[in-house]
Structure 1
């Protein structure tokens, strides 16, 4: 197929008049061909269009990419001699030259050609006019947009930062010794929450953002990244000045307390820094790295700074390993080597399993079971957490449909929580199945919940409206106060395992017992995570905790633990060829 074919030239001109692009994608050879209005749809000339799926994926919004990949994977996997073709429609957004994301609609047909042994997709891509109209907020005249609230809305802030980084990575003439990102986190915010209350803490967060804007001066842009964290990006400042600037910010906060309600409040911050260099994988991966540096800085105490590129957070070899692990996971997903493990949670009232938590697992090519801890960092680096969450969600709903006597919980990452398509999919799967929904628990992490409290409240209401229970995971690890816990109106709260690791500390016991008492008054059940021995389990039972999770009671297993050993369905069908005795014993 040649672009000089007169028929294709005529087709291309016709498509330009209608504002559309036609495409042909040979999956077997991974070759892409486009015809039509490339400037109108993709904001680039015909010669700049991507020629394969890897190049095309780079143009897409990183937050939409996992959804598109999963959808296409499902569609092409289903093609066979009996079903040689199927139509599909996907909506996502692509980057224009000004850094903005434009919503697109892709309508295509997936085709299997058995004689040639090829899979092909062909169809039309156009701007999604309805979504574009919804996204645009007109101010006075058409095209004048209100700037997103990057200081108040953490989701908008993260997207804004990722857009800037993505734009920089595509500037081939950019000086590689310029540009860096700082993640600035407020220290001990959860303590201040309890001492001063959430209104003062909100004021501290707002004043921290304004202080950073003041210190960034010209050339720096500040945005909220979530919870107690602000991001500061310097696109053109020399990278060698990053350490000096970070320490200047630390000293400023040390010397200048905030005045709130006529009282002086000393606020300390910790900082993680990362250069924007040529080896950065994606905007999402850079964000992960700078936040890892921040967490290491926080771990060293108040008012600390870590330069990611000079720290031992992750060496070059570790980075390479992460990429390999991420690719292994994607390959495993394609080859049905990804599965779910179920960890039993003890219900102390009846001294039996109250529910099972669904945990992702990968089977290596030689049949060994790989726990999530070995590859979850790679998944986060590659922006694939939504793919994992969707896999667990679909698996859980299918299991609940098949086994009416069990209850399952699934984990939802921040990326997934902010993805409206995930909630639509769950709603569709649970439609007309109130009994299934009533046995599904959705776990959201404390850090995710606090990034945008109003948005989280809406999500909690929608999930509960479907009939699901909602649990707050890792409570106590972040900044949530007891009063905010009440506002969220949750069904269940899971106490962070760090409190069980040091039960000799009187404060930890006091926290657990206080939380249980308050949760009871708010009609919330309590779950203690990380019970490692019988002594801890006895303490938790005596304290009235309703659910206990940990190796002391049960390890995760890819077997359906609710079925008897003799039941052939106890082992997942797609993994029947594996050596289950070895897998289950090694699954920790």
Structure 2
């Protein structure tokens, strides 16, 4: 030993390179270096360390404190008393109160503390800080020294406040969000009961938001929504509640509002939007709103009833024309229909779960030979008592309530199962308009057809003319996908939509089915005869074979054959049956010819 002080050695590094390495002075952990190391580490992560002598009320700050606190004069932050006028603690107490009011005694290791408070900088702005550290007691057991770290948490607090605000308010408009709008309806219903007064709920929707999106873009549409929200809020009283119900819908809850006043308020709200354009970043935009109105509690005693009745009235208003409103009025027939629809929906769900959805097969015959060429698959519902319900009893309700996709999926499964079990038949499957854009339905069908290529040539998929022409591009893609797999595609209800040569050419189907309403009374109705001949000529111009539906007698069979219709379908030729015949029928028209 030569008597020189030994410097700390980094053993890990020494082992790596086979020699001893002396640590830099800044990493020295000897007592004299600890404070500097503490300050250096705090500064490295953007914090500021401090030592506070509580008895002398002197605060020693590490480098960077003035910039973090936004204080230009060092004396304004050299003591707690100097900072006191700038600090706003959440509970109204001071930083010192957090120490002197502590119930924990210092046993020699110090007592930890953690505070959050705001501090006013030299510009008058409030900044949020997190203050963490330990205080140490003097000989009398009272706090004497505090050593801590100050961290700016403006961003964190701002995010927390934004999250908290979003729990109550809509992010775009600043109005109440849907949850708290519903809470306002509930409060108003309670108020009307307690005070024996009346209130109202209005549901308003922007009429032409889709057109605004297409013409100006979503940003401008958002500006329109914000502008309408401001107008509604400007017209509302202090006791009223205004909120955003959904994308283009607003809700307004009114207290102490009679029916007469409700009409006046609604007309004023509509006029405020109609009579003055909304200024946006791309110029003025004109728009209107429609409204559904419900009196509380006269026509709605619960929040759920208020919302459903307002939706119903709004739907009726939008069906009339733009810039209109409808006052909800109870209707026994409407309530009975609603209950019936809900009962049917429950039965549909139960039938799907219990595998009581089935198919009936109706033959489609050749007008020339009378042979059965294919069968249309018609969906049926087996009721718990064993009776069978036709599609007309539940499909319209399923479409209205959004359950049609489930029925289409089950019908597709049953059709594919029949094709696998009966290699001698060709089947035609109907799909709804919603299903033509259902990628899961199409992907499932594609997967099954690719697994067994022999099925595609015996499958025809029917889409209605109105659906096919509603979105030409989407329908054409749907049809192309099926035809590329080897399926055929038919347009059902041909003549009921807006057929044109261009549309038929774009969609490229394989078969057309003339809407049955034009076949009814064909023999005696000259207009129907002219229309059917025209449709046949139109289809034949594209080399498309034709099926005539609802064929009801031998005279119609003869006339349709003379018009050039290739295939016939109707109860006269064969009713739908739950079990396919053992083999394709031959000569179905043998004893039914004119």
Bigger radius of gyration among the two: 2
